[in-house]
A = this chain, B = another copy of it.
Amino acid sequence: MSCITTLKEKGLKITPQRILIADVLHDGKGQYTAAEIIEHVQSKMPGVNKSTIYRNLDILEQAGCVYKSELDHEVVYHHDDHGHHHHLKCVQCGKVVDCDETLLAPLEDSVQKKYKFRVDFKHLVIDGICQDCLKLK
């Protein structure tokens, strides 16, 4: 669903800056760093302030349109639409391996049941130690 529609539903104002940010997130590759979003937005509308963009990314995150994950020393934002998968990140060598989403499903259920907390894992990053680094020990 369009981010703009969601914002409207929440009684938030539709500004040109917000439209541009939503456009970037809907387009293309589905994963952007804050710097990339800032660059794309400013290339279409020079002078847009970085605070505006950070603030709007937060708002979109709160609204549930955008997910944020910290991947290998970088924060990336992705739109809800793009399929989920997770990342296993080795804290020793920094390597990142993609990981199937079904792995997390049982956990979502148990947290939901036990704590009445709705978690919906999208692009979760799990820290650990990879096979290669374990061998080096």
- Residues of chain A whose beta carbon lies under 8 Å from any beta carbon of chain B: 61-62, 70, 88, 90-92, 97, 99-100, 103-104, 106-107, 110-111, 114-120, 126-131, 134
Contacts and interface: CB of A to CB of B under 8 A. Distances in A.
From A62, A90, A115, A134, residue with most partner B Cβ within 10 Å: A115
Given A61-B91, A91-B62, A117 B130 contact: yes
B107 A90 contact: no
A120 to B, nearest CB: 7
Q: How many identical chains are in the complex?
A: 2
Contacts of A120: 128
A119 B111 contact: no
B107 A103 contact: yes
A92 B62 contact: yes
Given A62-B91, A103-B107, A104-B107, A119 B114 contact: no
Given A62-B92, A91-B61, A92-B62, A114 B118 contact: no
A118 B111 contact: no
**Interface majority SS on A: helix, strand, loop or mixed?**
mixed
Given A62-B92, A107-B103, A119 B115 contact: no
Contacts of A114: 100, 103
A99 B111 contact: yes
